[in-house]
Structure 1
Amino acid sequence: MSSFINNIIYNFFISFGVILGASLMAGLGAIINGHPPLKTMFTIAGSIKIWAIAVALGGTFSSFEIIEKGIFKGEIKSIIRQAVHVVIAVVGANVGYGFIRLIQKCGESIFG
């Protein structure tokens, strides 16, 4: 596989994993603190989506540098590649959010 495809796969799973991991750990913290874990997990998942995207992209500055290079040096291919990376990271974060939302809905139907 090409490195571009490999990086896209990494971006998806990194942003997905950030949402999933942070939400699950927040749920554990909520249990310890005596708060509702499902509500806490859902709240955290929604509030950290942008951070999951930034983590998947390896920080925001490199993305802006690539976009700047594409705009000012006419490297359209690099802009398209970076846009694909951003879109895949957003998709990964949203799939993670949807997964946490599914857990919440299943928990509500079982417990509530």
Structure 2
Amino acid sequence: MSYFLSKAGLDFFIAFGVVIGGATLAAIGSVFMLLPPATTMLDTAARLKIWAIVAAIGGSIDPVRVIESNIMEGHLSPAAQQICFIIIAFLGAHLATELVRLICKGAA
């Protein structure tokens, strides 16, 4: 249980950090390129969401293979854990995207 909670927490914060960090750095870059930072932040956050999930769960196809192999063998617990990790990473990325949207609401 401790492994599950620590990995789930890390997945959440990795996905959250990828979106927040990417959107913030894109906004800084947009200032140098004379583009509107709020619009750039919103667009970047939306485009980074799926990549934040992929980065959080391991950055490869391995989690999907774990799900497939365990379901085929009849072991549902490891597959359910991987699905939970993906959902938690999605929640982190989505929360970060909504936070960026809230921050940029008045500026865009």
Using the size of structure 2 for normalisation, the TM-score is 0.95
How far apart are the structure 1 equivalents of 2:65 and 2:92? 23
- Whether 1:88 and 2:100 are equivalent positions in the alignment is no
Q: How does 1:1-112 map to 2 (within 5 A)?
A: 2-108=2-108
Residue 23 of structure 1 aligns with an amino acid whose one-letter code is: A
How far apart are the structure 2 equivalents of 1:2 and 1:106? 41
How far apart are the structure 1 equivalents of 2:16 and 2:56? 9
- Structure 1 counterpart SS, 2:58: coil
Unpaired runs of at least 5, structure 1: none
Unpaired runs of at least 5, structure 2: none
Which stretches of structure 1, 4 residues or longer, exceed 2 Å deviation after superposition? Answer: none
How far apart are the structure 1 equivalents of 2:86 and 2:74? 20
Aligned CA RMSD, in angstroms, stands at: 1.2
Aligned length: 108
- Structure 2 counterpart SS, 1:107: coil
How far apart are the structure 2 equivalents of 1:102 and 1:81? 31
How far apart are the structure 2 equivalents of 1:61 and 1:46? 22
Greater mean alpha carbon deviation, residues 98-107 or residues 16-25:
98-107
Residue 23 of structure 2 aligns with an amino acid whose one-letter code is: S
In the TM superposition, what is the alpha-carbon distance from 1:81 to its structure 2 partner? 0.3
In the TM superposition, what is the alpha-carbon distance from 1:106 to its structure 2 partner? 3.7
- Structure 2 counterpart SS, 1:59: coil
Deviation string 1:55-108 (CA, Å, 9 cap, x unpaired) is 000123111121112121111001110111010000000000001001101435
